[in-house]
Each structure stands twice: as C-alpha cells, then as structure tokens.
Amino acid sequence: MTDWNAMSDAEFRKEVRGFLEAEYPEELRHLPHRPKFAEIEHWHRKLHTKGWVAPAWPAEYGGMGLNAAKLLIFYEEQQRWGVNRGRDMGVQMVGPLIIKFGTQKQKNYWLPRILSCEDIWCQGYSEPGAGSDLANLRTRAEIDGDDFVINGQKIWTTMAHDATHIFMLVRTDPDAPKKQQGISFVLAPMDQPGVEVRTITTLSGETEFCEVFFDNARTPRENLVGELNKGWTMAKALLSFERIFIGSPSLAQNALGQLESFARGRGAFDDPVFRDRFAQAALDVEDHAALYSRFADQLKRGETLGADVSMLKIWVTECFQRITELMIEAAGPDGGTVGPLQVGNVSVDVLASFYKARPTTIYGGSNEIQRNILSKAVLGLPD
C-alpha cells in the first residue's frame, strides 16, 4: 500500500497527472453533461483497479487515505484535465457518513459495493417545501416491524433515474420540538414498487435532476445510519471539506480559458470595452485563487475551516456566471444558437456553458443562504 502522504506535493502531483493523462479517455474530457454510469464505466473500472476511487477514504476501507493537502492536489489535477467526477455520490457523501457513523456490519457490506459501483447512489435531501430551508423536510419514515415505511417526495435528486440506492434524510419524529431534531439518515433501495422516479427537464434540455416519490416504500431498519433522530447533525458534520471544494477556482478557470480562445477567434478583443470586461473577469478569477489558497493552506496546516469559507463559493460562482455571459456577448448574433460554435480550430458551446453556470449560485446552499451564514456566523450581525 503506497503512503501517498509521505510523497512531496510535487511528486504526488506528477504521479496523479501522469496517470490521468495516460489513462483518462479523451472523449470524456470536459463532458458538458452528467454521464450515466454506462458511459463512464470503463473509466471507473480503471480507477477501481488502480485503487483510486475514493481518495479521501482511509486506506483500511479501500481509499487512498489522502490528507487535505494531497486531496486538494488530487482534485486540482482531475479538474485541470477535465476528468468527470463520475457517479461519486456514494464515494463523496454516503461512504464518509458510513465510515464515521456506521456499524461494522454496515461498513463491511456497503463500502466495497460503493467502490466497485455495484451500488450507485443518489442523494435524497431536498423536497418541494425544503430547499434552502432543508430542515423543513416532511418525508416520513415510520417503523413497521423490521422495516421503515417511507412516504413523501424528494426533488432535485441528481441522476436518481440511474441509481440503485438512495441515501436520504427523513422525518422519524414529527413531534420533536425543533425541526432540526427528529430527522434520521437512512439508506433505501430504489428498485421496489413504492418508489417512482420522474426526470425533470432543465433549461438546458438535460434530464439530470429527478423527482422521487415514495408510496409505502420499505427499507430494513438496519439501514438506519447512526442514531435515530440524529441525522441532521451527521449530515452537517460532513460539509466542511465540501465547502472549500464547492468554492474551488476550477469551474471559473476553465470557463475563462474557453472564453479567451473563443473571444480571440471572434475578434472580440478588438473592442476596448470587451477587453476591460475580460480583464475584470480574469482578475476576478486570479484574485479568487489567492483567497482559495489561503483557505487551502489552512487545511494543509491541519486547521478546520470556519464558516468564512462560504465566501469562496459566493465569489467564484458569480464570477463563473459573468464569464459565461461574456461568452454569449462575444458570440454576437450567434448568442442564442444551440450547439457548439466553431471558431478556427476551437469549438465552444456558449449556451451549454451559460446554462451550466446558472444553478451554481442555487445549489450547495444558494448564495443568499451563504450570505445569511456569513452575516451571522462571521460578521456577528443580529437577528
């Protein structure tokens, strides 16, 4: 077993880059949509053989055991090469939760199946009445013998139509005094009569989001992770790393690169107004990266991140949107055209980029929610 953490950062980066550049399929680079598992299965097999499916998991569970510094490098290299995240909900979300709060039996059963993608997971958190106010969720799980019986509805469930299992937050005690209490974390199989999935067509015409309806669906009681009614605190405990990851510069950096080659091909830089707006966007990205490094250094020193890390997400997502808007501007009369626009040897799908940028200020805690968090937790502003 290689101790990756013992390597120098530069060595490790070289190792990761070398593997990705040699092995990652060219046709999957910078995929504009979320793939179904079948589309990326051959890449997943390679990763699995290499033992690199779960970089953050401890080695004893089949992960790479990377520390925060190495983990950042791993993700930076993935993003640099345009490597698709794959169907990583299992690895990113449910795996760490089982590792932290699950029983030995749960670990033994579920973790290897996550690594091999024998089970493909989707995340059942949001509901029609519980988006930004997630704790308002109403989907019920009632104990009936050895099972939970689940009734209710989840929404914005990414790729639920291509998942075998769902991990979900459900209400197990409707009489708890606070709505954050009485929520539990359960795992459930998708393939059963009480579960119905309907895809949602997005503005860009994709169907990656779904609604999931539960009508007396069942899951064994042993699929409860952690304590009953403690699901909220558990789910929140996992968000620390997620919060720097969601604010990483890569999306905006990649879009800026696209914008630059596209704008150059279209002659947009002849216009001094466009030049200035491009310079603003480019500096917004560069200066964000400086702030990102500050937080990354904190992680590397082994410190935990404070609520202030939310500012990365606010800045970079809004910047990402401005960049994609500049692409549309540079496209001129082609700005409403569906599909890739060819300029010289560059092909840029400006509408796809534009649409891709829209939900970034909504998901992962909308930017308005992030501002609420910062104003309370960081600035100490009163209620």
Partner 1 sequence: MQSSEQEEDLRLLRESARTLFDRAGGSGRSRKLRDAGGEFDPDMVRELGEAGVFGVAVPEEQGGLGMGLAAGGVIAEEVGRVIAPEPVVATIGLGLGLLRRLCPEHPKLEQLIGGEASLAVAWQERGPGGASADATCRYADGKLTGGKAWVVGAGGTQDFLVVAEADGGPVLVLAEASADGLVTTRRAQADGSSLGELSFSGTPAAELACGAAVQGALSEAVADATALAAAELVGLSQRAFEITLDYIKTREQFDKPIGSFQVIQHRAVDLNVMCEVAQAAVREVLMRMDGETDASIRARLASRAKARAVTAARKVTRDAIQLHGAVGYTDEFDIGLYLNRALVLSAWLGDDAYHRRIWFDAREEEGAAQ
Q: How far apart are CA 374 and CA 76, in angstroms?
A: 26
Identify which of 198, 154, 126, 138 has the alpha carbon closest to the alpha carbon of residue 359. Answer: 126
Question: Which region among 132-140, 194-202, 341-349, 368-376 touches partner 1 (by CB under 8 A)?
Answer: 368-376
39 catalytic residue (yes or no) = no
Q: Using alpha carbons only, give the angle 97, 99, 102 rounded to the nearest 5 degrees.
A: 75
Cα separations in angstroms, 178 against 119, 136, 157, 168: 34, 10, 25, 19
Write the single-letter amino acid at 320: F
Min dist CB 229 to partner 1, Å, is 31
With H, G, I as helix, E, B as strand and everything else as coil, classify residue 339: coil
Nearer to partner 1 (CB atom), residue 186 or residue 312: 312
Min dist CB 380 to partner 1, Å, is 7
In the set 59, 238, 328, 378, which binds partner 1 (CB under 8 A)? 378
Q: How far apart are CA 33 and CA 259, in angstroms?
A: 19
Nearer to partner 1 (CB atom), residue 94 or residue 316: 316
How many C-beta atoms surround the C-beta of residue 231 within 10 A?
A: 28
Q: Which of 242, 260, 303, 329 is catalytic?
A: 242
Min dist CB 383 to partner 1, Å, is 6
In the set 315, 317, 329, 349, which binds partner 1 (CB under 8 A)? 315
Identify which of 15, 75, 373 has the alpha carbon closest to the alpha carbon of residue 253. Answer: 75
Min dist CB 293 to partner 1, Å, is 7
Q: How far apart are CA 208 and CA 158, in angstroms?
A: 6
Q: How far apart are CA 56 and CA 64, in angstroms?
A: 6
Nearer to partner 1 (CB atom), residue 280 or residue 342: 280
Min dist CB 49 to partner 1, Å, is 34
Q: Confirm if 172 and 221 have CB atoms less than 8 A apart.
A: no
Of 274-313, which residues contact partner 1 (CB under 8 A)? 275-276, 278-280, 282-283, 286-288, 290-291, 293-294, 297, 300, 308, 311
Identify which of 366, 361, 288, 354 has the alpha carbon closest to the alpha carbon of residue 323. Answer: 354
* Position 368 contacts partner 1 (CB under 8 A): yes
Nearer to partner 1 (CB atom), residue 228 or residue 282: 282
Q: Confirm if 183 and 124 have CB atoms less than 8 A apart.
A: no
Nearer to partner 1 (CB atom), residue 152 or residue 249: 249
Q: Site mask, partner 1, residues 216-255, x = CB under 8 A?
A: ----------------------------------------
Residues in contact with partner 1 by CB under 8 A are 275-276, 278-280, 282-283, 286-288, 290-291, 293-294, 297, 300, 308, 311, 314-315, 368, 371-372, 374-375, 378-383
- Positions marked catalytic: 242
